[in-house]
Structure 1
Amino acid sequence: MTDNTKEPTKEEEAAVIAKEKAEQEALPYKWSQVLEEVTVVLEVPAGTRSRDLIVDINRTSIVVALKNAADKPFISGELYKEIKVDDSTWTLDDQKEITITLAKVNKIEWWPHVITSAPKIDVKRIQPENSKLSDLDDETRSMVEKMMFDQQQKQLGKPTSDEQKKQDILKKFQAQHPELDFSQAKFS
């Protein structure tokens, strides 16, 4: 099977980036992300108090609106992926801006958009900040270290950690059962 897709020209790439930027700037909120969370910032009328707001953050959806204009929410829809509601927060800053932090369940995936009805960004162009492995929680750090090891092994033409584990189990089984002939066996 051949890949018939061609690399976009610089002009085509610039047009795509410009279109994406315009779509994102047209949203009624600004958003950013790191692997662990998504941050949404939206402006509200000056003098807004928290009691004037509807902020409904669920595992798979979000609604933020003024109580007296609930039919015209700032943001409303199904989230791209599930979040941890208990670890997600929102604050009203200076009675004019809401900052919402959504804790991702899957901390190794970039989101192309906050809500599924919004225009997508190309997540392949995301340039993550360099972070230290020591900044990560134990589970995430071990997952990243395994991914880095496996990537290095593939580049060297060596087996990944999972492939190595399978080979080790097979060797141990063969050693425990020398009476079995594995010379014609095919393993994939």
Structure 2
Amino acid sequence: MSVHFEERSGVVPCKTPWGSWYQTMEEVFIEVHVPAGTSAKEVKCRLGSRDIELQVGGKEIFKGRLFDMTVSDEATWTLEDKCLIRIVLMKTNREAGNCWTSLLEGEYCANAWVQDQMQRKLTLERFQRENPGFDFSGAEISGNFAGGGPDFSSLQQ
């Protein structure tokens, strides 16, 4: 029986003044807390392949150059319960070694502990994809996991 890797299991959020962001091998998720009662008409969100901008009620929440390239045609944003904006960005580089260290270049950086935990999660996600018959839900990573972990491709039968 194949166990699907749950993208929110063990999510490692990087806290920010406006909410948080986290990532999987394929996507970057941004959660922005906005004033209760916010309407979609008050939200201006521009999602480019390399740039992002979010304004709510005419106030800039963030704007800048993304840490890495994304697929702009696959980016989405939603306003949930009139108090939370969720943005989903699709990474162009979907390797476990592509662990973003910040959301924007030089802004909203993950501290060393958060960065370590993010990389561990992406490495576990990679192992789950490479070994779909195994359950990695309770697994812990130690040792060499930086850059997506060890390469076992030369061990193929």
- 1:127 pairs with 93, 102, 120, which one? 120
- Number of residue pairs aligned between Structure 1 and Structure 2: 117
CA distance in 1, matches of 2:131, 2:77: 27
Could you list the per-position Cα deviations for residues 17-59 of structure 1 after superposition, in whole angstroms to 9, with x for gaps in the alignment?
xxxx9xx534322011011010000101111111111101111
Q: Which has the higher helix share?
A: 1
Is the Cα–Cα contact under 8 Å of residues 29 and 74 in structure 1 kept in the other structure?
A: no
Query: Percent identity at matched positions?
Result: 22
With a CA cutoff of 8 Å and minimum separation of 6, indicate the structure with the bigger relative contact order.
2
Q: Distance in 2 between matches of 1:26 and 1:55?
A: 18
TM-score by length of 1: 0.55
The one-letter amino acid of 1:75's match is F
1:22-37 correspondence runs (5 A): 24-37=14-27
Q: Is the 8 Å Cα contact of residues 27 and 88 (structure 2) preserved in structure 1?
A: yes
Residue 101 of structure 2 corresponds to: 112
Instruction: Give the Cα separation in 2 of the matches to 1:34 and 1:25.
Output: 16
Match of 2:71 in 1: 84
Q: Which runs of 5+ in 2 are unaligned?
A: 1-12, 133-147
Q: Partners in 2 of 1:67 and 1:28 — Cα distance?
A: 14
Deviation (angstroms), 1:68: 2.7
1:41 aligns with 2:31: yes
Following TM superposition, by how much is the alpha carbon of 1:92 offset from its aligned partner in structure 2, in angstroms?
0.4
TM-score calculated relative to the size of structure 2: 0.65
Q: In the alignment, which residue of structure 2 is the partner of 1:93?
A: 80
- Aligned-residue CA RMSD (Å): 2.5
Deviation string 1:49-108 (CA, Å, 9 cap, x unpaired) is 111111011111111112432xxx212111001100111111100000000011000111
SS at match of 1:51: helix
Q: Give the structure with the higher percent strand.
A: 2
Moved more, 118-127 or 102-111: 118-127
Cα distance between partner residues in 2 of 1:26 and 1:86? 26
The match for 1:148 is: 152
Larger radius of gyration: 1
Q: Is the 8 A contact 1:77 1:117 kept in 2?
A: no
Q: Trace 1:147-166 onto structure 2 (pairs within 5 A).
A: 147-150=151-154, 152=155
Give the letter for the 1:133 counterpart.
E
